[in-house]
Every structure is written in structure tokens, then in C-alpha cells.
Structure 1
Amino acid sequence: MKTATIDQFGFLVHDAARLLRKSFEARVQEQGLSSAQWRLLVRAVREENATQARLAELLEIEPISVSRLIDRMEQGGWVKRCAHESDRRTNRIIPTEKSMAAYSTIKAVAADVFEMAMTGLDDDHRQTLVSALTIVVENLSSDEPQAAADAAEFQAS
């Protein structure tokens, strides 16, 4: 790989992620969720009965911050805490019907944003891009099995 291409890679991946996030957040504001809240909502729906500790790990934020975030989301009717069956010190986070409806909307918005981002790429280029990014994620996720599983799931969809 040419040095210029290597030098551009990190900036391009960062800028693409930033611009995707910015476009997505602008479109989901009407749901009444902050960036942190919609990220937690998506993880809570996808993880099914995740603990607060697991959500903190996935979101890469401190457990106390997740606890406060869940407090606000619980007050808003987005999630509910349920005692863990085998560990009474642990709560599982359950998305409500309100969250499930918002999740459907969020997925549709994400699809629109991804479609906009890939305008001008034919199907082969789109598949190549997704395949290449999946490999990058897998290469860098040897100690993060969830990131590798997420990449594989995205590749399959």
C-alpha cells in the first residue's frame, strides 16, 4: 500500500464515522433521545437483557455514567430495570415497547443515512467496502469479541 494511502486511511475512517454519526444524530433528534441515549437504546435492544455493566462495557463509558443514563431513560419510559435472576446485586436492562418502536425508526433512519453515504457506489463497490471494513474490525478486535460479532452480523445483513 502506498504511504499516501496509509496516511489517509485513519483520517478517512474517522471522518466517515464522524459524518455518519452527525447525519444520523441530526435525523433522530425528533425522537427525543440524546446521542448517548440512542446508543444505549440500540445496545439494550440488540443485547437482550444486558446488565448495566455490560452496557457500560459496550458503550465504553464508566458504570456510574451508564447508571445515570439509565435513570433518565427509565424516567422517560424507554427502559426498565429488572433484578438479575442469579445475582441480586445486578440489574438487567429491558427495553420497553416505546424503545422497540423507536428502534424501528432508528434502523430506518440508519438505512437512509447509509444509502446516502454510499450514493455513487455500485453494488460490487458497496460489498467490497463493507467486506474490507469487516476485516479491519476483525483484525483489531482480537480482544473484543463483541466488536467482531457486530461486524460479522452487519456483514451478513
Structure 2
Amino acid sequence: GLSSAQWRLLVRVAKEAGAAQARLAELLEIEPISVSRLVDRMEEGGWIERRQDATDRRVRMIFPTEKANAAYADVKSLAGEVYEESLTGVSAEERRILIRVLDTIVQNLTDGETSSLEKIKNTEGAAA
């Protein structure tokens, strides 16, 4: 199976086919070298393919393979089912409130130079 980092990359590539590796690094908020390694492994596994940009030969664009598109469709369908099941009995207004509250929580945790989420990640990494 794929690691969580590989799934994150696969989902991003499925949504933004043809994105450059550097752009994927920005979107995933990870170092370009880490994206390069992920892409290497996923290309070897038949999940994605690299193509040269027609206008800039230095740029490598990343595309999902049929295998990746099929896996993404399966996961997206399953996620939709889980979403609907989890919100059974929750009114449309309650859903809107939930989204607003969760957005506020995310904002609270990501404001400032180093978000609380990053601090937690850094602490966990140091302990490992």
C-alpha cells in the first residue's frame, strides 16, 4: 500500500494533473527533495509519471496514471459514503455551523509564524 505521504501526493496530483514538482512541494508544504523522493517511489510503483514541460525542459510535470486515477476514485467514493454516514441526522444549518467552527479552529492553530500544528510536528519529530 501507499504511505500517508504518498496518498497526500496522489490526491494532489489527481486534483492538479500536470503540476510541477516544485508546485507540489508548495502545496504539500514539504521540501522539494522530499517530493522528488516520493515521486521516484510512486513512479516506480506505477502510480504517477513525469513529463517534461514543453516550454521549459528543466521543469518536470507530474501526472497520475490510470492506476492512480482508479485508486483516487475509489477512495473519493468511500470518503463520500463515510461523510454522509457521519452526518446522518445533522441538519444543513448544523453542517454550516460545524464547518465555520472547524475553519475557526484551523485558523487559530495556523496563525502566527509557526503554527501550533507545526510546533507539535516538530516536537514529535525530535522525540523520535
Length-normalised TM-score, structure 2: 0.73
Query: Which residue pairs with 2:76 in the alignment?
Result: 107
Which digits, 9 at most, give the CA deviation of each residue in 1:13-44, with x for residues without a partner? xxxxxxxxxxxxxxxxxxx2211111101100
Specify every segment of 5 or more residues in structure 2 that has no aligned partner in the other structure, as ranges.
Answer: 112-128
Matched-pair identity in %: 56
Query: Which residue pairs with 1:65 in the alignment?
Result: 34
Q: How does 1:73-152 map to 2 (within 5 A)?
A: 73-130=42-99, 132=100, 136=104
For the residues of structure 1 that align with 2:92 and 2:48, how far apart are their CA atoms? 38
For the residues of structure 2 that align with 1:60 and 1:134, how far apart are their CA atoms? 21
Secondary structure in 2 matching 1:102: helix
Equivalent position amino acid for 1:68 in 2 = R
- The answer to which structure has the higher helix fraction is 1
Question: Where do 4+ consecutive residues of structure 1 move more than 2 Å?
Answer: 112-120, 127-130, 133-141
| Alpha-carbon RMSD | 2.3
Length-normalised TM-score, structure 1: 0.61
Number of matched residues? 109
Q: How does 1:38-53 map to 2 (within 5 A)?
A: 38-53=7-22
- Give the CA deviation at 1:88: 1.0
Query: Which residue pairs with 1:9 in the alignment?
Result: none
- Give the CA deviation at 1:119: 4.1
- Give the CA deviation at 1:53: 0.5
For the residues of structure 2 that align with 1:89 and 1:110, how far apart are their CA atoms? 37
